[in-house]
Amino acid sequence: MDALLDLVSLLAGLITELWLNSRGEFFAAAAVGIILAAFSWWLAYFVSFSFNRQFSFRPEHYFYCGVAATVTFFFSIVFFALHYTADVAKVMVSAWEVGIQVDQPWADDTFQRAYEGVRALHTPMGKPLEDFSKRPDPKTGLPTSIPTTQEASKLKAADIYAEAAVTHFRIQHPVLSKILWARPKIAQDEIYADMHRVFGAGSPNYDAKDAARLAGGEIRRGLEQQVPRIVLLSRIALVIAFLIVQGITFFLLIHAALADIKVRRAAPPRGGR
Q: Is the predicted pLDDT of residue 142 greater than 80, yes or no? A: yes
* 13 and 100 inside one domain: no
Q: Is the predicted pLDDT of residue 242 greater than 70, yes or no? A: yes
pLDDT value of residue 266: 73
pLDDT value of residue 30: 95
Helices (DSSP H) in the chain: which residue ranges? 2-21, 23-51, 59-81, 85-101, 104-119, 151-172, 174-180, 185-200, 208-266
Q: Is the predicted pLDDT of residue 273 greater than 60, yes or no? A: no
Greatest mean pLDDT range, 32-36, 226-230, 233-237: 32-36
* 177 and 245 inside one domain: no
Region 222-243: what's the mean pLDDT? Answer: 83
Q: For residues 164 and 110, is the Cβ–Cβ distance under 8 A? A: yes
Neighbours of 126 (CB within 10 A): 6
Q: Is the predicted pLDDT of residue 256 greater than 90, yes or no? A: no
| Residue 271 within a domain | no
* 25 and 101 inside one domain: no
Q: Is the predicted pLDDT of residue 181 greater than 90, yes or no? A: no
Q: Residue 122's beta-bridge partner residues?
A: 128
CA distance readout (Å), 51 to 43, 64, 68: 13, 16, 18
CA distance 72 to 80: 13
Q: For the chain, how many structural domains are there in total?
A: 2
Backbone φ and ψ for 128, nearest 5 degrees, come out as -60, 135
Q: Is the predicted pLDDT of residue 219 greater than 90, yes or no? A: no
- What percent of the chain shows pLDDT beyond 70? 95
Domain containing 100 equals 88-226
